[in-house]
């Protein structure tokens, strides 16, 4: 784990800056963190639905750096409105995020099954004032 006193979280997210900014703000505020490591790909929530072994290993390596070396204990799994990389309805994004939480949980358990890591399903969308906000996805 990092020897610094900084507290980290992690986001498995789309590369879209609207999603990145809103997710970072939400996770930092909700869990009183200094930084949020971003693991991004275009349309990440869609990519995780059919992740191959090579991509899974690459993701595991990135998560391991954040969890083991930075001490992250909170991993947000994110989808967002108006995604160019995974152009589907908001409902489909939310369903993907919920399913992707299981993928991320299994990878985290492979990294270290003894760690208590919170997996946070988030959906990012424009608010009434036009700013972009992250909100938890109801897992039920």
pLDDT digits (tens, 9 = 90+) for 43-97: 999 999 999 999 999 999 999 999 999 999 999 999 999 999 999 999 999 999 9
49 lies in some domain: yes
pLDDT of 1 over the 70 cut: no
Single pTM value for the model: 0.94
2 lies in some domain: no
29 lies in some domain: yes
pLDDT of 3 over the 60 cut: no
Task: State mean pLDDT over 104-127.
Answer: 97
3 lies in some domain: no
Q: Which residues of 77-86 are buried (b: 16+ CB within 10 A; e: fewer)?
A: bbbbeebebb
Q: What pLDDT score does 5 carry?
A: 84
**Segments forming the whole domain that contains residue 26:** 8-136
Task: Determine contact, residues 74/115, Cβ cutoff 8 Å.
Answer: no
pLDDT digits (tens, 9 = 90+) for 7-50: 999 999 999 999 999 999 999 999 999 999 999 999 999 999 99
1 lies in some domain: no
114 lies in some domain: yes
CATH of the domain at 104: 3.40.1050.10
Task: Determine contact, residues 38/25, Cβ cutoff 8 Å.
Answer: no
Q: What pLDDT score does 118 carry?
A: 98
Number of domains in the chain: 1
111 lies in some domain: yes
């Amino acid at each position: 784990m990092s020897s610094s006193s900084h507290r980290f979280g992690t986001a498995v997210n789309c590369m879209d800056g609207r999603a990145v900014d809103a997710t970072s703000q939400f996770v930092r505020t909700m869990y009183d963190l200094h930084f949020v490591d971003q693991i991004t790909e275009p349309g990440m929530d869609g990519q995780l639905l059919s992740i191959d072994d090579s991509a899974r290993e690459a993701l595991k390596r990135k998560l391991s750096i954040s969890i083991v070396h930075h001490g992250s204990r909170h991993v947000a799994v994110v989808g967002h409105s108006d995604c160019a990389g995974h152009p589907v309805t908001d409902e489909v994004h939310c369903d993907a995020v919920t399913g992707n939480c299981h993928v991320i949980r299994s990878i985290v358990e492979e990294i270290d099954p003894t760690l208590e890591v919170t997996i946070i399903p988030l959906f990012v969308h424009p608010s009434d004032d036009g700013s972009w906000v992250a909100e938890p996805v109801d897992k039920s």
